[in-house]
Structure 1
Amino acid sequence: MSNELLFPSEMAEADRLAIAAGPFDGIGLMRNAGAAVAAVVLKRYPAATRVHVLCGPGNNGGDGYVVARILRESAVDVSVWASGSPQGGRDAALAASECPVEARPLSDFVAEVGSVVVDALYGAGLSKPLSGDAAKVIDIAAELNLPVVAVDLPSGVSGESGNVLGKAFRARTTVTFARKKPGHLLLPGRELCGDIELADIGIDNSIVAQLQPRTFENIPALWLDRLPVPAVDAHKYKRGHVGVFSGGPSATGAARLSALAAARSGAGAVTLLSPANAMQVNAAHLTSVMLHKIDTIADVDEFVGSRRPSAFVLGPGFGIGEKTRDFALVVLGNAHGQGSGIDGLVLDADGITSFRDTPDALFEAARRPKTPALVMTPHEGEFAKLFPDVAGHHDLSKLAKARAAAKRASAILVYKGADTVIAAPNGRAAINSNGASWLATAGSGDVLSGIIAGLLAQGMPAFEAACAAVWIHAETGTRFGPGLIAEDLPLALVAVLRELVESRGMAAE
């Protein structure tokens, strides 16, 4: 599976294992990496007046010397600017010795409009803020609007967190090797990478498998084989039953959006669970979605016992307070030890905020044996309310924060945003890479909650269901584009779901 993400330390271990296994030694891998970058430069910038290759003192710089050599052999006008010299006896030193272009000090860097910069200074391994001569070169490249091709990762971007360390290049293209790093997908790093090209330099998939990666790019390959497809003999309750809790008469729309999304994502039956004073409002807007009155915990118990729901959504438009907490805990508790068949509870919006003062009550309920999966979908503000200490830990990446929160809460954590992170209590995590700005509209998150619940109700494992829902939601938003409002999303899901089901069928053949 090529959607694994490797931290810089894991990538270094992959290099070590690959060198030990052969057939390429260290300089062989470096030559392959440099050749891959040079090929991208030649393909994308055939008319460049000059290519300026910036080389650091480590392996990233070694790749740069290979790039410069190959470009010179291809009759390209090349300049090399070095920040320090490679340590003697290292692969980078050998690569530098093979390069026919004399290196000049980075401090003397000058460039001209029409030239191209290859950033081979530090890559993903940078651990301290970028400053001094490198920062000046970044300013010059930006002022002249020079296209930058980054080797592995734009210098100044953390491969682990995507954060900018001091200052960073804004690349038009980033060429990375074997696997992407978290910093390629987490913001702001993702915006600074430009187009990302993944090059095979001779590190076999079996080498990556030895590392047992726990971090993934959220693409269909991660979960497509678990996407539910109805059997020939399926009836509506075999396809799962979702219950969506509605707010009062003036706050019913969010729950209806969730309910419709659950139905569109494949749930065989969906019931809107409405307080008595909102029954008429909801009835006026529902057709295929069923309606059931629920005002008390006893009503929830009766519904679970008589209608056998598979999943619930609680939070969208429901209101903040004790009733919300009670309903969440009774859903989790009702499933415990009673064979109710509840697969999961999706807690969003008001459902999350209601536990800001008593989070341990929720977390304790979620960690009990045989309790259904708890999936929480906070945006940044809601995350900070439930996990204030984690949110305030500025040294942690968004990925690390999501992992810490998921473990503490014994829940699947969907930490929303343009770079949504999905994390499980066991440490598995995925970073979404197809985020759509069109989804920044009221009600969009309610639709996401409904998709997750719909997939859960059909028996999809909670982590995979959350990952699939996030990707499907974003893909739908991208395809719809300008003018999107949340009401458009449930019907627009159909085309994306159809393609996924067809893809799964072809993969199974």
Structure 2
Amino acid sequence: MLGGTEILTTAQMRAIESAAIDSGKVTGLELMERAGAAVVDAILAKWPEYAERPEKFPWRATVLCGPGNNGGDGFVIARLLAGLGWETTVEFYGDADRLPADARLNYDRWCKIGKVYPLDLDVQQRFKADVLVDALFGIGLSRPVDAFCDYFDDIYAAVNNVFGGKSATTIDRLVAVDVPSFLCADSGRVLSREVMPWLEYDMTVTFHRPKIGHVIGDGPELCGALVVADIGLFQSRSDHVGDFTRAVSVRASDFAKHAFSHKFDHGHALIIAGGIGHGGAARLSARAALRVGAGLVTLCPPKSALIEHSGPPDALMRRAVDDAATLAEMLTDKRISALCIGPGCGVDRAGALLPAVLESGRHCVLDADALTALAGKPDLLPGLHKNCVLTPHAGEFARLFPDLAERLAELPERGPAYSKLDAARQASARCGAVVLLKGPDTVIAGPDGRAEIHSAYDVPWLATAGSGDVLAGLITGLLARNPPEYAVSYSTAFQFAANATALHAAAARRFGPGLIADDLPDQIPGVFRDLAV
């Protein structure tokens, strides 16, 4: 996992490299050599069999080199593999006379020991390699790669050995340098207008820090195993060249309870429930809020539905709320520190109660039906504030912010492409609340421009009914423990929404396949033990 790691845009990475070179402590040529060596080391580490030289036939590598510094890395990789006894073929796309200086020097170094073949897009290519290294474009790609689609189709066929049974045409492993060549490093989106087979790489080796495209969009699936190699760059200065993004991380201190405390020290959360037959979602949220450590949790259905919530857990309190006036009266109790509205609530009921929720100024989580109600009542949008957390999935986001969703759905013409990160940031800035845009690549964005990303592609079993209700409850429980009046710089709606996202995925990982949403809250104690809380 990349917990706490800074995630960079292409511009930020280039600024860091430039700052390092301008300092005089390292040259571009040294960085290129380190990058090439890091890729070779990663190949040998992931597939140890390649470290042993075969008795009869050498290992074979094909290295695709492009017209920029990514291609320069490729020439280094080819030279180093050849030095280890590999049979190495280099295919080059570009004009050697137009290569950047450092890349040209490594091109010339390779030419002293091997031949450079043109990457001819007009001829159907045939490959036979144990490892194919894609060093064509890297993070520098800014235009669609439609002209390369046929070429990548051939690579796809070689990887999958589907050239009409011609078994001599095979690629065993596929490795990308920085990012796969058709992927936008700033968005995780494929820059192509043509349909082409998905080339899923076995491994991607990037340098210094992950890039945005590695962790959102199509990136996690296409990149395969992500290796982040240290090439000796300085501490990041990315906050000087754009908004700052991190991978979600959690610490034991974020969840610990102090020894001399009582229940009200850890907050009182209200979970607004819906009518008869729709209470399951709210109960999932309430159980999650209890498990994550809220001192008290009260479930608030209409009076007619109270009987439905009479079962366990017995620690859960119940109190009827039929209208906004009743809720407003309840909220005169200052010990109530957070609310959750939406799961199983019903759109009409959520719309009627939302004004009282927002006017309270409390931490509040707006999920499910509350988001649909909010989309239908634009007059409520000005009531949102920094203590609100909106948790839309893609469909709910489209109802709330149709113009941003439409832009996100457009096929990108150039890079950097518009990304899920961009959309979440703009939505948060527009509404003044924290926006948690759900998915296997969840983005949490705050009104101040901060953002964190949590990739959970490794737990696809989270895609199950009620999973989002549990997440809403986890956020509510954490927020209840940190009411706005006691908040310090690190205790914000933004940060605890991110923490809850990480706990949610950790609980799913701990349980494993076969998970249903009911299992998630009961995994939280084990997650806390794993964190040494």
Q: Same fold (TM over 0.5)?
A: yes
In the TM superposition, what is the alpha-carbon distance from 1:106 to its structure 2 partner? 0.8
Alignment of 1:176-255 (within 5 A): 176-208=206-238, 211=241, 214-220=244-250, 224=251, 227-255=254-282
**What is the aligned partner in structure 1 of residue 105 from structure 2?**
94
| CA deviations over 1:93-112 (Å, ceiling 9, x no partner) | 11111223221001168444
Secondary structure of the structure 2 residue equivalent to 1:117: strand
Cα distance in structure 2, aligned partners of 1:10 and 1:379: 29
**What is the aligned partner in structure 1 of residue 184 from structure 2?**
158
**What is the aligned partner in structure 2 of residue 445 from structure 1?**
468
**What is the aligned partner in structure 2 of residue 365 from structure 1?**
383
Does 2:493 align with 1:479? no
| CA deviations over 1:429-454 (Å, ceiling 9, x no partner) | 11112342111111111000000011
Change (3 A) 1:278 1:30: same
Does 2:289 align with 1:274? no
**What is the aligned partner in structure 2 of residue 506 from structure 1?**
none
In the TM superposition, what is the alpha-carbon distance from 1:70 to its structure 2 partner? 0.8
**Partner residue of 2:365 out of 315, 324, 346:** 346
Report the residue type matching 2:352 in the other structure.
D
Cα distance in structure 2, aligned partners of 1:246 and 1:88: 63
**What is the aligned partner in structure 1 of residue 18 from structure 2?**
16
**What is the aligned partner in structure 2 of residue 425 from structure 1?**
447
Cα distance in structure 2, aligned partners of 1:366 and 1:472: 26
In the TM superposition, what is the alpha-carbon distance from 1:312 to its structure 2 partner? 0.4
Report the residue type matching 2:189 in the other structure.
N
Q: Percent identity?
A: 40
Report the residue type matching 1:381 in the other structure.
G
Change (3 A) 1:486 1:204: same
In the TM superposition, what is the alpha-carbon distance from 1:284 to its structure 2 partner? 3.4
Cα distance in structure 1, aligned partners of 2:128 and 2:232: 36
Cα distance in structure 1, aligned partners of 2:286 and 2:460: 23
Does 2:430 align with 1:408? yes
**What is the aligned partner in structure 2 of residue 50 from structure 1?**
60
Report the residue type matching 1:177 in the other structure.
F
| CA deviations over 1:444-476 (Å, ceiling 9, x no partner) | 110000000111111142111111111111121
Secondary structure of the structure 2 residue equivalent to 1:154: coil
Secondary structure of the structure 2 residue equivalent to 1:442: coil
In the TM superposition, what is the alpha-carbon distance from 1:355 to its structure 2 partner? 1.6
Cα distance in structure 2, aligned partners of 1:2 and 1:316: 30
Cα distance in structure 2, aligned partners of 1:181 and 1:206: 13
In the TM superposition, what is the alpha-carbon distance from 1:325 to its structure 2 partner? 2.3
Cα distance in structure 2, aligned partners of 1:73 and 1:413: 51
Unaligned ranges ≥5, structure 1: 336-341, 503-509
Contact 2:372-2:396 at 8 Å conserved across structures: yes
Secondary structure of the structure 2 residue equivalent to 1:230: coil
Moved more, 193-202 or 426-435: 426-435
Cα distance in structure 2, aligned partners of 1:5 and 1:114: 33
Unaligned ranges ≥5, structure 2: 160-170, 413-417, 483-490
**Partner residue of 2:374 out of 334, 343, 355:** 355
In the TM superposition, what is the alpha-carbon distance from 1:479 to its structure 2 partner? 2.2
In the TM superposition, what is the alpha-carbon distance from 1:328 to its structure 2 partner? 1.8
Report the residue type matching 2:119 in the other structure.
L
| CA deviations over 1:36-92 (Å, ceiling 9, x no partner) | 012222334416731000000101000001111111111111010000134256211
Q: How many residues align?
A: 485
In the TM superposition, what is the alpha-carbon distance from 1:201 to its structure 2 partner? 0.9
Report the residue type matching 1:332 in the other structure.
L
| CA deviations over 1:144-201 (Å, ceiling 9, x no partner) | 2221110000100000111111257431000000111110011212100000000111
Contact 2:238-2:244 at 8 Å conserved across structures: no
Secondary structure of the structure 2 residue equivalent to 1:301: helix
Secondary structure of the structure 2 residue equivalent to 1:420: strand
Contact 2:4-2:249 at 8 Å conserved across structures: no
Cα distance in structure 1, aligned partners of 2:89 and 2:78: 8
What is the TM-score of this pair, normalised by structure 1? 0.91
Deviating beyond 4 angstroms after TM superposition, the runs of 4 or more aligned structure 1 residues are: 108-114, 206-213
Contact 2:436-2:497 at 8 Å conserved across structures: yes
Report the residue type matching 1:250 in the other structure.
G
